[in-house]
Amino acid sequence: MNIIRQTLTLFVFFISFIQMSAFASPSQNNLAPMLQKVLPAVVNIRADIKITDFNTLNQLQKEKGNNSNNSNNSNSDVPDIYLSIGSGVIVDTENGYILTNAHVINDAQTVTVTLGDGHHYTGKIIGLDKPSDIAVIQIKAKNLKAIPISDSGNLKVGDSVAAIGNPFGLNQTVTSGIVSALGRTTLGIENYENFIQTDAPINPGNSGGALINMDGELIGVNTAILAPEKGSVGIGFAIPSNMAKSIMQQLIKFGDVRRGTLGIGAQDITPDLATAFGLSNMNGAAVTLVKIDSPAEKAGLQIGDIIISVNDADIKNSNDIVNIIGALRVNSKVTLGLLRHNKALTLNATLTDPKELKDSSEATDPFFYGVGLKNFSLLSPTHGSIKGVLVISVEPDSHAWQADLRPGDVIKLANQQQVLNIDDLKKVASGVKDSLLLNVLRGTGAVFLVINKEQS
């Protein structure tokens, strides 16, 4: 009898558990209540873009998923207007600010914003930043809804997310998935990359839309997909909200992003490098280059230093430095945490304008700025015993490049004076006012070149 009672008790408990689970599951997994609050903040964006040639048209079609509505010019086969369709996220109801992708509205003649309720507004472009692919537009409207911006730094792989946008022009489409990966870089999509990867389906037209967490907060701006036929295969990318917010603030305040430069080269820490440097882990980035007269040099940074933090943000790899510095304006102060010979050290630097740094370096060495040189000697069957200066590299658009100096050239004469090494070459160049005459060996022949201080 006791066994029967125990069995019945367990059976009743089991049935009760199933019923409770059945009633509990919908409320736990149903996204509808949250989406009702955030959907009104995701808008449709239509931008009319002036087309002047097929190259521009092909590039637009490649970037924007071939969504077009073209009117033909009677004098040309090139369409007048390309209609770019994308998405946007209202983030400020008081000012009507909307976050979107720069590629959605770049070169737009007019921008039309359509809310979820069907109301249309003309959008004003506040600013856009191509390197990060972030743009801000503004509409004048009342009773707007906004999505609060969350800290994307708290995201973890496996977190549930939802993507909201207008794929193929289908307004306010919602897809769901998880965070598949974080910190995706070197994809060649943007200059500054730190993408959130998600399997929530993203398609053409989703660009500029919202990637949200389960609390209805913005954690990313949907930007790109990895797919052979412009359709979702479960690999989508979003710009983290922290990066988007930083760029947005600059665009609203200044209308542009005027990036500062630190003036270093850095590389990731591999297991072999960690062992060679005596590091306990592979976090950080090794400094491989410190440019002359750069903020890094003035701050005392040295080759071989391991940067482990920038402005208190931990550095996992060299791309972290690129992204953090790339979001800071000229004259911004940065605090660098680093290891030097395994001892902790803190340095402070002030970022400078990249053009100013280039101009300063160019003024110091106008003829050979951007040129890599090496002392050279060779017994040649054509030229005999050669001593001179070998050109290792030439930066495009430098004065030397404009003069047709190329890698592999061997400089023998400068202003008709023999140069046996780099010191000889720089000594002759330092006494020249406007132009420098070079005689260089090139292959089995030789040519004269003239490098001018000022490009024509």
Q: Stretch 101-123: mean pLDDT, rounded?
A: 91
pTM, to two decimals: 0.67
Question: Residue 312 pLDDT more than 60?
Answer: yes
Residues identified as active-site: 103, 133, 207
Residue 40: predicted pLDDT: 92
Dist CA 364 CA 98 (whole Å) = 45
Kindly report, residue by residue over 211-253, the tens digit of the pLDDT. 999 999 999 999 877 665 655 667 888 999 988 998 999 899 8
Residue 277: predicted pLDDT: 92
Dist CA 391 CA 447 (whole Å) = 14
Residue 191: predicted pLDDT: 65
| DSSP letter for each residue of 341-393 | TTEEEEEEEE-B-HHHHHHHHHHHSTTTTTEEEEEEEEEETTTEEEEEEEEEE
Kindly report, residue by residue over 242-283, the tens digit of the pLDDT. 889 989 998 998 888 888 889 889 999 999 999 999 998 999
According to DSSP, the β-strands at 218-225 and 285-290 are unpaired
| DSSP letter for each residue of 167-189 | GGG-TTEEEEEEEEEEEE--SSS
Q: Stretch 64-71: mean pLDDT, rounded?
A: 43
Residue 68: predicted pLDDT: 39
Residue 201: predicted pLDDT: 82
Kindly report, residue by residue over 28-60, the tens digit of the pLDDT. 467 888 888 899 999 999 999 877 655 555 555
Map out the domains of the chain with their CATH numbers.
39-138 (2.40.10.10), 152-254 (2.40.10.10), 264-356 (2.30.42.10), 365-452 (2.30.42.10)
List of residues 6+ apart from 45 with CB closer than 8 A = 84, 85, 86, 87, 88, 98, 100, 104, 105, 111, 112, 113, 114, 123, 137, 166, 208
Q: List, in sequence order, every residue forming a beta bridge with 452; answer none if it has no partner.
A: 435
Contact 220, 202 (CB under 8 A): no
Q: Which two tokens stand for residue 406?
A: 């190329």
Percent of the chain with pLDDT over 70: 82
Dist CA 389 CA 412 (whole Å) = 7
Residue 15: predicted pLDDT: 43
